[in-house]
Every structure is written in structure tokens, then in C-alpha cells.
């Protein structure tokens, strides 16, 4: 699904009206009805009292339309019009007149004293500003947003939290508990630093014109289940372990051999036919006992890797987990990179070593996948001033070296030289020791099975996140561990195959 800018959203909006020969009011009705349907499912008790703040643009128009729908079905509704300018949009003015005629309690707010006691209401609906926000919020809108945020009330924002800029850093906006956004994912809704404004984000369909969306030129995508599902390769009836890919995991050092066990196990569970672990001597027994399905190759180093040398011919290699940064290990990585021709995933200390030896990055073959967490990324690309700057710096880095960078975190970003893919699966349960090692194993396995590098990253990240999505009911996120990710890879495949 494409992520669009506010300007593109306006275009899709206008084209939907034109191509489907509907009025703008009809489109507002679709959006408001979709919001209403979401709301009544969540708050089915009609004694829920609702306070709606509406601006004077179309976001306010939605607020007023939603007020009418809720009032009609028996909810107790009060509307405050935040009149930050006296020129109402046509559809907002229409819904204002209709709401008044339907005897909904409405007041206009010009100063702070007129703001009702927000805490008295069960739910606040925020329809002050939507995607039309074009400058900093001031005056009465600023006061109202300040009061909403102070109140501690449960707030549901229509489309976007009021005050949130879609294309630049936001410092002041409604702090929503939930944001219910209309059909098009907006980048700002999924950036870590905006989470305090957006709360939980739900995307609802409002029947925008698909053709107009597909014509919009964007290189930022929100990965959807149907798309990932189509990428999954079918099993070959005549497959044997030698035909479905051999993954090699290189890593480990004294005290950190578990990372290689996790990555290797994850690789095999993701479906490649063979897994070999390349480890220092101290790791070989560990993996042979813990994970007998893996083969192991012993490095000449006792406690850390000192010379990466093997005779097997893997189809993909994942390198770096638990590897440490001993001088001999660094040299071994350098020599390995000079000679390697196999599709590669680099994680953890592999990335850290590259960060402190920037000229080695040029040794990487095009489309090598790097999987940094935020700390590793900042060492790799330099610090950033905000999330937009982080994306820009990572993108320039990916372009300069022709790499695929998997920026791990909530809504993991996969950035290559052309596109940005934002992952839509996962929960905070994944913030657990070994989670990254498992991801390295999953992506390496997909590469070994012949998926191209960008699909390996997209599918791998999606499956990894999905395992947490499934288990929230059966395993409390706090006690979800890396092995639980591995155990649920099969369930993730089943779920993806169900919709094919
Ligand atoms: N395609 C869709 O998704 C649909 C969206 N709808 C809703 O419409 C809004 C966008 O409406 P728009 O009228 O363009 O913008 P706003 O409601 O955000 O109004 C802003 C309004 O105020 C002016 N303005 C901008 N910044 C400021 C400021 N800081 N202070 C004061 N005034 C400001 C600006 O010029 C506008 O006039 C979208 O979010 C949805 O909620 C439709 O209902 C259906 C389809
Ligand atoms: K809003």
C-alpha cells in the first residue's frame, strides 16, 4: 500500500469525487460512517458520553458528521467548535447547520474559559485539524489542544492527531489514545517520535478511488499481508534438503554463542534445507547439543572468530551475531568481505566493525542486507536530528553503497536505493534479547531459498513481526522470548498461505 503526502491525498480525494461522480459531502459521509462503525464496535455501550472538538475545515466536518451519527443512534454527544478562523469549509458548514437542526448540543469556543470540563466525558473525539494543517497551531486551537492533553482523557483522533504535520517534525499536537486514519497510511503516523501523539493507529477503508491511488507517484510503501502472501514461494513436491537452500550463519564468541543457535534455528524453521553454523571453538559443542539439526564448522580461534575459512558452498550467509569486535575478528571479516560472492546479511558486531572501518563498506556487493537497531544505525550513518532526518540519512547511505538497510524498531523500515518499505507487523514483545539474531536467521534463510534480497528483507521482517501479533493472546508480551518467535514461524506461514 502506498504511503502518500498530504498533497497527494488531496489529489486522490478530488479524483475520487470526480471519477466516481459523487459529491464531496458523500465522500465525507463515507469517511465519517467508517469512523462511526469502528467507534460503535469499540464503544458499544450507548451510555458512553462523547465530547467532540471540531475545527472548521473538513476534519471538523467529519467531526460534526460523526456527532450526528452518534446522536442519532442514542449516544450522549456534545460538540465544541474550535473556531480558529471564521471561514468554514462548505461541507463543515453544512454539517454544522444539520447538527444544530437535529438538536445536538453545540457550542463555539473562542477563549479558554468556554472549554467544558473534559474529564466529565468518557471519550473525546478530536476533529480540529486533519491533513490540511499547514502551519504551527496558535490561538484558540493551541489552547484547546493544551487542555485536551492536560485532561488525561481518552482521545480518539479523526484521521490524524490535530497539529501533526505529515511531512515534517511535530512538536505540539493532540496526544491521542487512538488514531483512526482514512485509508491512506501517512508516514508521520508511524514514526517513533510521533507515537506520543498518535497512540494506537488503525487504518479504515473509505472507498477512495484505487486507480487514483495507483497513479500517485510514491516510493514509500506500507507492507500489507496480501502483498507478502503473494511473495511466498510454493513448495516443490520433489524438493529435498539439497534443493531448498543452504544457509551459513557466522558468528559467536565466548558467552555469546546462543545468538548463533537462535539465528541457525530460525533459518531452518524458515524453510531452507540445510544450516551450517561457523563459530569459534567454544561454540561448536554448544550448538551441536542445543540444535542438532545444524551442522557446525569450527574456526581456529578458541574464544572468538579469527579467520573465516570454510569449504562448503552456502547459498546465503548471515554474519555478525554475537561475534564481538576483537582485532583478529575484524581482520577476518575484512578478508571474508574481499572474497565473498554469496548473498549476505550483516548484523550486530558485523555492522559495528563496518562503522569503525567505513572504507570496508565499499567491499559489500550490491544489495547486501544490513540489519541495524537504532544504536548500530547511528554509528553507521551518523546521528540524526529527527525521524525524517534519520530516514533521509539512511536513504542516502543505501543509495551511496547500493545496500538494503533494515532499520529495526516498531514499524521497521526497509530502505534500499530506490524505495522505503514500512513494515506493518509486530508488537513491543519483539523488544527482547535475541530477537535480532532470529531476524538475521529468517532473512538469511529466505535468501538461501532463492528469494531476491529486497523480498527476503520484506518477507523476513513481516514474518518476524507476525509471530508476535499471533501470540499476544496466548503469551503475555512481557514473557515472549526469542525462541517464541522461532516456534511461531510455521504459524506465520500458515496464516500467510490462508489468504492465497
Ligand atoms: N481523502 C480523505 O482522506 C478524506 C478526508 N476528509 C477529511 O478532510 C480532512 C482534510 O480537510 P481540510 O479541510 O483539507 O483540512 P483540515 O480539516 O485539516 O483544516 C485545516 C484548515 O485550516 C487551515 N489551517 C491549516 N493550518 C492551520 C493552522 N495552524 N491554524 C489555523 N488554520 C490552519 C487550512 O487552510 C484549512 O482550511 C482530512 O484530514 C479528513 O479528516 C474528508 O472528510 C473525506 C475524504
Ligand atoms: K484530527
As given in the structure block, the three cell numbers for residue 498 are 490462508
* Residue-range domain boundaries for the chain: 6-218, 226-498
The stretch 3-9 carries a mean pLDDT of: 96
**460 among annotated binding-site residues:** no
Question: Do the bridges between strand 344-346 and strand 369-370 make them parallel or antiparallel, or are there none, so unpaired?
Answer: parallel
**134 among annotated binding-site residues:** yes
Residue 439 CB–ligand 1 contact under 6 Å: no
> Ligand 1: which of 11, 59, 65 to mutate, judged by most atoms within 8 Å of the beta carbon?
59
**Fold that domain 226-498 belongs to in CATH:** 3.40.1190
On the 0-12 / 13-18 / 19+ scale of CB atoms within 10 A, 280 is buried
Name the residue with the closest Cα to ligand 1, atom 24.
Answer: 133
ipTM: 0.97
Give the number of whichever ligand sits closest to the CA of residue 161.
2
For 423, residues 6+ apart whose C-beta sits below 8 A from its C-beta are 223, 411, 412, 413, 414, 458, 461, 462, 465
Which helix (H) or strand (E) element contains residue 353?
A: helix 349-355
Whether residue 450 is predicted with pLDDT greater than 90 in this model: the reply is: yes
273 C-alpha vs ligand 1 centroid, how far in Å?
A: 54
Residue 158 CB–ligand 1 contact under 6 Å: yes
- pLDDT of 236: 86
92 C-alpha vs ligand 2 centroid, how far in Å?
A: 14
| Percentage of residues of the chain with pLDDT beyond 90 | 96
C-alpha span between 297 and 250 (Å, rounded): 9
The answer to whether residues 63 and 52 touch, using CB atoms and an 8 Å cutoff, is yes
Whether residue 165 is predicted with pLDDT greater than 70 in this model: the reply is: yes
Other Cβ atoms less than 10 A from the Cβ of 168: the count is 8
C-alpha span between 189 and 201 (Å, rounded): 7
Backbone angles phi, psi at 43, to 5 degrees: -120, 75
Name the residue with the closest Cα to ligand 1, atom 37.
Answer: 57
**409 among annotated binding-site residues:** yes
Indicate left, alpha or beta for 82 from its phi (over 0: left) and psi (-120 to 50: alpha): beta
How big is the CA angle at 140 (ends 135 and 143), to the nearest 5 degrees?
Answer: 95
pLDDT tens per residue across span 323-380: 999 999 999 999 999 999 999 999 999 999 999 999 999 999 999 999 999 999 999 9
The answer to whether residues 218 and 4 touch, using CB atoms and an 8 Å cutoff, is yes
> Ligand 1: which of 129, 162, 165, 174 to mutate, judged by most atoms within 8 Å of the beta carbon?
129
pLDDT tens per residue across span 170-217: 999 999 999 999 999 999 999 999 999 999 999 999 999 999 999 999
17: confidence class by pLDDT, cuts 50, 70, 90: very high
> Ligand 1: which of 53, 110, 131 to mutate, judged by most atoms within 8 Å of the beta carbon?
131
**Ligand 1 atom nearest to CA at 13:** 1
205 C-alpha vs ligand 1 centroid, how far in Å?
A: 18
Mean pLDDT score across all residues of the chain: 97
Whether residue 129 is predicted with pLDDT greater than 80 in this model: the reply is: yes
Residue 52 CB–ligand 1 contact under 6 Å: no
pLDDT tens per residue across span 235-267: 988 888 888 999 999 999 999 999 999 999 999
**67 among annotated binding-site residues:** no
pTM for the structure as a whole: 0.95
Question: Per CATH, is 6-218 categorized as 3.30.70.920?
Answer: no
**403 among annotated binding-site residues:** no
162 C-alpha vs ligand 2 centroid, how far in Å?
A: 4
**59 among annotated binding-site residues:** yes
Name the residue with the closest Cα to ligand 1, atom 1.
Answer: 13
Whether residue 500 is predicted with pLDDT greater than 70 in this model: the reply is: no
Whether residue 278 is predicted with pLDDT greater than 80 in this model: the reply is: yes
Amino acid at each position: 500500500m502506498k504511503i502518500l503526502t498530504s498533497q497527494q491525498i488531496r489529489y486522490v480525494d478530488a479524483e475520487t469525487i470526480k471519477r466516481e461522480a459523487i459529491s464531496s459531502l458523500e465522500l465525507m459521509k463515507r469517511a465519517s460512517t467508517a469512523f462511526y462503525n469502528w467507534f460503535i464496535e469499540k464503544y458499544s455501550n450507548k451510555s458512553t458520553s462523547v465530547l467532540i472538538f471540531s475545527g472548521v475545515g473538513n476534519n471538523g466536518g467529519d467531526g460534526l458528521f460523526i456527532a450526528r451519527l452518534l446522536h442519532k443512534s442514542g449516544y450522549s454527544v456534545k460538540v465544541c467548535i474550535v473556531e480558529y478562523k471564521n471561514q468554514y469549509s462548505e461541507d463543515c458548514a453544512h454539517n454544522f447547520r444539520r447538527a444544530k437542526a437535529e438538536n445536538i448540543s453545540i457550542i463555539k469556543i473562542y477563549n479558554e474559559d468556554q472549554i467544558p470540563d473534559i474529564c466529565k466525558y468518557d471519550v473525546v473525539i478530536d476533529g480540529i485539524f486533519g491533513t490540511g494543517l499547514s502551519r504551527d497551531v496558535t490561538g484558540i486551537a493551541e489552547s484547546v489542544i493544551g487542555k485536551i492533553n492536560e485532561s488525561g482523557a481518552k482521545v480518539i483522533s479523526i484521521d490524524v492527531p490535530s497539529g501533526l504535520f505529515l511531512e515534517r517534525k511535530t512538536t505540539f499536537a493532540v496526544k491521542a489514545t487512538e488514531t483512526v486514519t482514512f485509508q491512506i497510511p501517512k508516514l508521520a503516523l508511524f514514526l517513533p517520535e510521533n507515537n506520543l501523539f498518535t497512540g494506537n493507529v488503525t487504518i479504515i477503508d473509505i472507498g477512495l478511488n484505487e486507480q487514483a491511488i495507483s497513479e500517485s507517484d510514491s516510493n514509500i510503501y506500507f507492507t500489507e499481508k496480501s502483498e507478502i502472501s503473494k511473495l511466498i514461494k510454493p513448495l516443490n513436491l520433489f524438493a529435498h534438503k539439497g534443493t531448498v537452500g543452504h544457509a551459513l550463519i557466522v558468528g559467536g564468541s565466548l558467552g555469546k554463542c546462543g545468538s548463533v543457535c537462535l539465528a541457525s534455528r530460525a533459518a531452518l524453521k524458515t524453510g531452507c534445507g540445510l544450516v551450517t553454523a561457523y563459530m569459534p571453538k567454544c561454540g561448536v559443542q554448544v550448538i551441536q547439543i542445543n540444535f542438532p539439526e545444524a551442522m557446525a564448522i569450527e574456526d581456529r580461534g578458541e574464544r572468538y572468530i579469527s579467520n573465516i575459512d570454510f569449504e562448503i558452498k552456502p547459498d546465503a550467509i548471515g554474519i555478525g551475531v554475537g561475534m564481538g569486535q576483537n582485532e583478529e575478528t575484524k581482520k577476518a571479516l575484512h578478508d571474508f568481505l574481499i572474497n565473498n560472492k554469496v548473498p549476505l546479511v550483516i548484523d550486530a558486531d558485523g555492522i559495528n566493525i563496518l562503522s569503525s572501518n567505513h572504507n570496508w563498506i565499499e567491499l559489500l556487493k550490491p544489495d547486501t542486507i544490513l540489519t541495524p537497531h537504532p544504536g548500530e544505525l547511528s554509528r553507521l550513518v551518523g546521528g540524526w536530528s529527527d525521524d525524517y532526518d534519520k530516514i533521509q540519512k539512511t536513504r542516502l547511505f543505501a543509495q551511496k553503497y547500493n545496500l538494503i538497510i533494515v532499520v529495526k524498531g516498531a514499524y521497521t523500515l526497509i530502505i534500499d536505493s530506490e524505495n522505503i518499505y514500512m513494515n506493518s507487523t509486530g508488537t513491543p514483545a519483539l523488544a527482547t534479547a535475541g530477537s535480532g539474531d532470529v531476524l538475521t536467521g529468517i532473512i538469511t534463510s529466505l535468501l538461501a531459498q532463492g528469494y531476491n534480497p529486497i523480498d527476503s528483507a520484506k518477507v523476513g521482517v513481516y514474518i518476524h513481526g507476525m509471530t508476535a501479533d499471533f501470540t499476544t493472546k496466548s503469551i503475555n508480551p512481557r514473557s515472549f522470548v526469542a525462541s517464541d518467535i522461532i516456534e511461531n514461524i510455521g504459524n506465520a506461514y500458515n496464516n500467510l498461505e490462508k489468504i492465497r
